[in-house]
Amino acid sequence: MDLRTVLRALGRLLLALLCFAAAIAAALGLLRWRGLILLSHEADPAQWEVFGVDVSSYQGSVDWTALAGQGVDFAFIKATEGSILQDRQFAANWAGAAAAGVRAGAYHFLSYDSPGETQADNFIAMVPATEGALPPVVDIEFYGEYLETPPEKEHVRAILDPLLERLEEHYGVKPILYVTYRSYYRYIAGGGYGDYPIWCSSPTVFPLVPGWDFWQYSHSARLAGYDGAQDRIDLNIFRGSRSEFEQFGFA
């Protein structure tokens, strides 16, 4: 093969690579324009009408008026974990969000180490049934030893199902399921949970799970208005219009 032939082949390869790169850049640009790629520091993104945060005691004392002034429309607030633990900032956050006009929902961190019935008791004792609140949330993810050795599906569902049943009976609305990709495809997909709203953690890129309602797109943002040990805050959007959000969660 002579040099001219080699150069022509290299030229065709370079052109193909440039075309491929241009196609990728165009696709990413389209996703970015549509708000399906959101940067970790990007608060209140213009492509979405309804923006929110989620908080726990790690954010310390929260100035909810300050958060509302930065476009925060809703907040998921940690209430409980397992059958005993209760977030020490929950009551202050619940009242503060309401006073600032931020629509709130409470979340429960699912434990794989105690019955769903007693976990429901813990949550119900902590979270008042409040008109206009977002539905309760059950946070399904992995922790401690379960990061390496996740519990079996049957074990998780034996805890999750009675917990969801009790919460729905008490609050009159189906709870939201907070999921990671790993927990969704291990425990939720194909398991008869299709009627439950989904709040999915998917940093930067929109969730690749069907039918999601809330997207947690950042774990590492900074906003003004809190002073806890954790200086970062999670950011979320609602998948829908403001009018749809106002109707969301009503039976």
Q: Which residues are catalytic?
A: 54, 139, 141
Which residues lie below 8 Å from residue 115, measured CB to CB, with a gap of 6+? 83, 159, 162
CA 236 to chain centre: 6
Q: Residue 163's closest CA among 200, 137, 182, 135?
A: 137
- Alpha-carbon span 44 to 50, nearest angstrom: 8
- Alpha-carbon span 177 to 157, nearest angstrom: 13
- Alpha-carbon span 47 to 215, nearest angstrom: 13
